[in-house]
Amino acid sequence: MRVLPLPAWRWGLVGLLLLVVTGLAGSTARAATLRWKFQPGETLHYAMDQKTVTSVKGGPQDIKSTMSQTIDMEWVVKEIGADGLTHLTQKVTRIRTKIESAFGPFEFDSKEVKDPEGAVAAGLVPLLRALVGAEFSFKMNEQGEMSDVKVPEKVLESIKKSGSLGGNAGMFSEEGMKNMVVESSLAVPKEDIEKGKSWTRESKITMPIGTMTLDKAYTYQGPETNDAKKVERIDLVTKVDIQLAPGNNLDMKVQSQEGKGSFFFDNAVGRVAESTVSEKLEMVFKLKVGEQENQIIQGNETTTSMKLVKGQDAEPSKP
């Protein structure tokens, strides 16, 4: 539970009471040392729920699509190296995906034997199937910083074969897949951190049209209680900037955005217990065909939550 500041009038007390109150207030403001902790051979099970709503306005007709996903994954601790880095693998054990769009509905569950059919399925199912059971390997230090991320060969082969989903740099590329693994983690400061203090991290993602820069600002909010456990709350604010590649004639700008979230870090065992991040992004594209110029507005709203679970398949979140 968040510690509330003492009422102002108490600071007017004199003598011993003033010293006691000041001492108690100081004890709640002690800096925290946040660290990831692992044991060789242990397995962490995470469930991720994600919902994305995409809208496009300004074309021949307005388009809206909704995608909901539940992904069960496990982190397996292989070893802790002499350099202090932990060697882990991340494996997706189950994927459930539901899409509603102008191209028709799509629903997939990797536990089902029969795959869906249709144009959307033809592009997505091979990649989803390749992801299930594939082991991404990486190293992590005690701050949660990842390095040496390796994408499984069968996933790379599926990306190459998936046509429009994978041919270029972006989300469905080797670099994009590595970024998704790295961005799924929380990196904490090396130094001790006091309540209200912030730190920042920047990541760049190469896309066909240019480079997307993601700036993240984290703020430590102190201890709270989550599911009857003491956790450390860390709030997040994100900002996106897109720089077009030289020679790109696309006229595009970010019109509005909002990105925020919260992480609940269980410092006793050294891992994220739960997190929720929401992002809203609206971009404007100006397209010129002959003498006619059209303006397209694309909006994306995404909410992603992750939770440490006990190994069973997670239930999909309710709409």
DSSP notation for 70-126: EEEEEEEEEEE-TTSPEEEEEEEEEEEEEEESTT--EEEETT-SSPP-SHHHHHHHH
Phi and psi based region of residue 58 (left: phi greater than 0; alpha: psi -120 to 50; beta: remaining): left
With a CB cutoff of 8 Å and minimum separation 6, the contacts of 55 are 62, 63, 64, 298, 299
DSSP letter, residue 194: -
Mean pLDDT for all residues in the chain = 84
Q: What's the pLDDT score for residue 303?
A: 96
Number of domains in the chain: 1
With a CB cutoff of 8 Å and minimum separation 6, the contacts of 30 are 194
Q: By mean pLDDT, which of 190-194, 207-211, 253-257 is the weakest?
A: 207-211
Q: How far is CA 118 from each of CA 68, 101, 111, 126, 160, rounded to the nearest angstrom? A: 18, 13, 19, 13, 20
Higher pLDDT, 159 or 90: 90
- Angstrom distance (rounded) from CA 53 to CA 66: 5
Q: State how far Cα 245 lies from the chain centre.
A: 25
Q: What's the pLDDT score for residue 29?
A: 56
Asked whether residue 156 is domain-assigned, the answer is yes
DSSP letter, residue 195: T
Question: Among candidates 257, 223, 256, which has minimal Cα distance to 238?
Answer: 257
Asked whether residue 5 is domain-assigned, the answer is no
Q: What's the pLDDT score for residue 9?
A: 34
Q: What's the pLDDT score for residue 7?
A: 40
Determine how many CB atoms are found less than 10 A away from the CB of residue 83. 7
Asked whether residue 124 is domain-assigned, the answer is yes
Asked whether residue 7 is domain-assigned, the answer is no
Sign of CA dihedral 162, 165, 170, 172: negative
DSSP string over 140-151: E-TT--EEEEE-
Question: Among candidates 274, 182, 271, 187, which has minimal Cα distance to 225?
Answer: 274
State pLDDT tens for residues 64-98.
999 999 999 999 999 999 999 999 999 999 999 99
Q: What's the pLDDT score for residue 33?
A: 95
State pLDDT tens for residues 98-141.
999 988 899 999 999 999 998 888 888 998 999 999 999 999 99
DSSP letter, residue 245: P
Q: Confidence band (pLDDT; 50, 70, 90) for 207?
A: confident
* CATH code for the domain in which residue 122 is found: 2.30.230
Asked whether residue 257 is domain-assigned, the answer is yes
Domain containing 248 equals 37-309
CB distance 277 to 246 below 8 Å: no
Q: What's the pLDDT score for residue 61?
A: 82
Give the mean pLDDT of 193-204: 94
Question: Among candidates 138, 159, 117, which has minimal Cα distance to 73?
Answer: 138
Asked whether residue 8 is domain-assigned, the answer is no
Asked whether residue 182 is domain-assigned, the answer is yes
Asked whether residue 3 is domain-assigned, the answer is no
* Tokens 């900037």 found at: 241
